[in-house]
A and B are shown apart, each in its own frame.
Chain A
């Protein structure tokens, strides 16, 4: 029995958006999300019934994010990243844009590992296979990433 694709969007839409925002930043995330779900919709009828849908979507999102990054490298925009502004709340880390800004400072591999392991909840082995690295490397990248985020946040809030 197959499930309506709408259910996939409802169950995983928010997670995929967080993954895209973590890997690409808020500005480019929308395009990656759209490309991901359109590609998923196209391939959906041939997805095996017992497939891990979250891992499948993150795999697609990973490829789409790489496409966006390549396009960005080809046509650099005058502003490559969201300019840093004063926090409107006065408490760094208190609103989500702060977290995305912190994540954006990580090296790409750490960003991906943090996004796929912590935001999408995939096991390190799965993350490793999506990123094409060893499970140890994936584990190291996500724990280094989180450690760096903690340090950065502490620095920003001091």
Chain B
């Protein structure tokens, strides 16, 4: 059979599979089976992974988090029905690009908060209110979230933020003005703050 199989020209196959994948994305979405759609977008801080459920953006990830690992985690935490499907994320990708072009100060996207619970979610919801170019300290955020002594827990909430950039944990600094930590790396945090300060 090998002799016959070698006569199998696979050149037309890639095109067919691209077309079939697009059809699967459409069919899955209309059947309500596209639980998690994702795509990547290139930015000055590297490629970002965007993932959305039917409810909204559920995850934004930096390349250093390893996209395969992030997708495996989404399959476990949300649903294994995960498909590369750029169209659901057209709006989110456009807004991210506008943000990095300095043309957007706030995101207007439906968010799916299901990956954050309890105090962490309270913290993250507070962060949405920190405006473009502004910063707060971990201590201030803890007080605003109603637990002034939970400064360390605020740090954890920021470090595990499933929606960085859109939920601006990069705008939280140490009380002495030093950077603290960042999931996307300190260079990224510095770049985002620098960009916002310059605008």
| Interface residues of A, Cβ cutoff 8 Å to B | 1-6, 9, 13-14, 17-18, 30, 33-34, 37-38, 41-42, 44-45, 93-96, 98-99, 102, 114, 118-119, 146, 149-150, 153
B19 proximity list for chain A (CB < 8 A): 30
Q: Does any Cβ of A come within 8 Å of B134's Cβ?
A: no
From B3, B8, B31, B74, give the contact of A4 (CB < 8 A). B74
A34 to B10, CA, bound (A): 19
Contact with A along B73-87 (1 / 0, CB 8 A): 011100111111000
B72 proximity list for chain A (CB < 8 A): 1-4
Q: State whether A153 and B31 are in contact (beta carbons under 8 Å apart), knowing that A17-B13, A34-B20 are contacts in the complex.
A: no
Closest chain A CB from B70 CB (angstroms)? 10
Q: Does any Cβ of A come within 8 Å of B17's Cβ?
A: yes
A104 to B107, CA, bound (A): 55
Q: Does any Cβ of A come within 8 Å of B117's Cβ?
A: no
What is the total number of residues of chain B having a CB less than 8 Å from a CB of chain A?
A: 34
A119 to B1, CA, bound (A): 10
Q: Given A6-B84, A17-B13, 7 more contacts at CB 8 Å?
A: A18-B13, A30-B16, A34-B24, A41-B81, A95-B9, A99-B8, A119-B5
Q: Does any Cβ of A come within 8 Å of B152's Cβ?
A: no
Q: State whether A45 and B81 are in contact (beta carbons under 8 Å apart), knowing that A3-B72, A146-B4 are contacts in the complex.
A: yes
Closest chain A CB from B68 CB (angstroms)? 9
Closest chain B CB from A89 CB (angstroms)? 10
Contact with A along B93-114 (1 / 0, CB 8 A): 0000000000000000000000
Nearest first, the 6 A-B pairs at minimum CB distance are A4-B82, A96-B9, A2-B80, A4-B71, A2-B75, A118-B1
A3 proximity list for chain B (CB < 8 A): 72, 75, 80
A146 to B7, CA, bound (A): 14
Q: Does any Cβ of A come within 8 Å of B21's Cβ?
A: yes
Q: List 13 A-B contacts (CB under 8 A).
A: A2-B72, A4-B80, A5-B75, A18-B13, A34-B20, A34-B27, A38-B31, A41-B33, A42-B33, A95-B7, A98-B7, A102-B4, A146-B4
